[in-house]
C-alpha cells in the first residue's frame, strides 16, 4: 500500500481525506461521494486514503491527512469529523445515521454540518461536541436553527459552574473588537449527579468583562456577528 505522504507528494492535493479501514462499503462509498462533491464545489484537488484508525489519527496529527472519518462507538453517529484542521478545511462536523446515508444530498440536508473559513474553531466546537445546523452544501453558511439559552439563563444562579477557556483568546478572538475586553468561558450547568457538564450549545459563551461582570454572548458561526445576550 502506498503511503499517504507519498501519495500527497505525488498528487499534491489541496486536501487529503482519510477513511478508517473499518468503515463498511456503504459508508465508505458515501464518504467518497461527499469528498468528490465537496472538492468540486470549492474547486479543491483532493485525494482519498484508507488505513487503520491509529495510523489515520497519527497521519492527521502529523499533517499528512486533512480530514479523517471513522466508525463512532455510538451507532447513530457513524462519522465523527470534529477533529479537523480548520485553517485548511471548512468542515467542522458531519453526523449522519448510517442507514440514511444515500447521497451527498442526504449528508448535507437537515443534519449536522458546520462550516468555517480560515479560523480554528476546534477549541469551541470540538469541546462542546456538537455542530450548528446549517443549510445544504451549496448555500454554505446559512444557519437554520439557533438554540438560545433563554430558558436556562434566567439568572446567574443557573450558571453554576464555569471553566477557564483561555485557548479561545489564543485562537483569534482577540482580534474581534467587541471581545477585546472580555475573558471567555464556556457555559456550564450542574447535573443531578453533581457533575458539571458543558451545555451542548456551541454558539453561547459566558464572557467576563474587565469590569468583573459576567455577560452571556451569542457567537454566530464565523464570528462575523456577535450579539449581547438579552432575556
* Residue carrying C-alpha cell 485548511: 88
pLDDT tens digits for the chain (231 residues)?
444 444 444 547 767 777 778 776 766 776 676 677 656 655 667 888 888 877 876 776 676 776 666 544 333 333 343 433 322 333 333 332 333 333 333 443 333 333 332 233 333 333 222 233 322 222 222 222 222 222 222 322 222 222 223 333 344 333 333 444 444 444 433 333 333 333 333 334 445 555 555 554 444 322 222 333 222
How far is Cα 118 from Cα 60, in angstroms, rounded to an integer?
A: 18
How far is Cα 181 from Cα 93, in angstroms, rounded to an integer?
A: 30
Query: Which of helix, strand or coil describes residue 100?
Result: helix
pLDDT of residue 144: 22
Residue 49 forms beta bridges with which residues?
A: 18
The terminus-to-terminus CA distance of the chain in angstroms comes to 58
The sheet that has 182-186: what strands, in order across it?
A: 182-186, 204-209, 214-219, 226-228
CB contact set of 87 (below 8 Å; sequence gap of 6+): 118, 119, 120
Question: What residue segments make up the domains of the chain, in order of their start?
Answer: 4-145, 156-228
How far is Cα 213 from Cα 231, in angstroms, rounded to an integer?
A: 16
Strands (E), 126-201: 133-134, 143-145, 182-186, 188-190, 196-198
Answer whether 132's CB lies under 8 Å from 93's CB: no
Amino acid at each position: 500500500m502506498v503511503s499517504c505522504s507519498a501519495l500527497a507528494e505525488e498528487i499534491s492535493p489541496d486536501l487529503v481525506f482519510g477513511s478508517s479501514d473499518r468503515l463498511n462499503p456503504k459508508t465508505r462509498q458515501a464518504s467518497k461521494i461527499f469528498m468528490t462533491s465537496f472538492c468540486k464545489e470549492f474547486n479543491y484537488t483532493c485525494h482519498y486514503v484508507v488505513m487503520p484508525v491509529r495510523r489515520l489519527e497519527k497521519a492527521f496529527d502529523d499533517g499528512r491527512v486533512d480530514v479523517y472519518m471513522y466508525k463512532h462507538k455510538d451507532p447513530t453517529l457513524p462519522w465523527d469529523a470534529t477533529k479537523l484542521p480548520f485553517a485548511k478545511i471548512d468542515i467542522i462536523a458531519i453526523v449522519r445515521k448510517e442507514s440514511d446515508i444515500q447521497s451527498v444530498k442526504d449528508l448535507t440536508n437537515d443534519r449536522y454540518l458546520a462550516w468555517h473559513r480560515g479560523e480554528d474553531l476546534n477549541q469551541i466546537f470540538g469541546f462542546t461536541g456538537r455542530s450548528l445546523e446549517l443549510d445544504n452544501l451549496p448555500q454554505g453558511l446559512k444557519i437554520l436553527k439557533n438554540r438560545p439559552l433563554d430558558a436556562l439563563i434566567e439568572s446567574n444562579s443557573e450558571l453554576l459552574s464555569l471553566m477557564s477557556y483561555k485557548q479561545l483568546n489564543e485562537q483569534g478572538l482577540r482580534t474581534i473588537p467587541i471581545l477585546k475586553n472580555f475573558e471567555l468561558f464556556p457555559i456550564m450547568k450542574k447535573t443531578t449527579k453533581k457533575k458539571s457538564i458543558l451545555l451542548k450549545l456551541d454558539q453561547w459563551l459566558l464572557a467576563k468583562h474587565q469590569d468583573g461582570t459576567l455577560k452571556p454572548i451569542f457567537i454566530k458561526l464565523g464570528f462575523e456577528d456577535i450579539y449581547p445576550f438579552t432575556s
